Amino acid sequence: MAKRKNPKNKGISRIDSGSTHGWFVRGYKNGETYSKLFSDLKCGGKRKAQRLAREHRDELHARLSKIPTKRRKS
């Protein structure tokens, strides 16, 4: 059975690959990608990294919402 996604983690992905373990935050605006990895090791553990990633995601989305949306060229 597939794991249920936590709605609190919208816009956040878990990375567990090789020596990389952490939470990856991504946001998009006007064709630009804004991203940041919150490493378990550097943040002091998996839960703390997740909390910091959620805080960053909320701040990022607030900043991105203030940027005017550019019209796409046809």
CB of 11 within 8 A of CB of 37? Answer: no
- For residue 28, is pLDDT > 90? yes
For residue 72, tell me if it sits in a domain: no
Q: What percent of the chain has pLDDT over 70?
A: 93
DSSP 24-68: EEEEEETTEEEEEEEEHHHHTSHHHHHHHHHHHHHHHHHHHHTSP
pLDDT tens digits for range 57-72 = 999 999 999 999 988 7
Total count of domains within the chain:
1
Domain that holds residue 28: 11-65
Does residue 73 belong to any structural domain of this protein? no
Q: Does the pLDDT of residue 42 top 70, yes or no?
A: yes
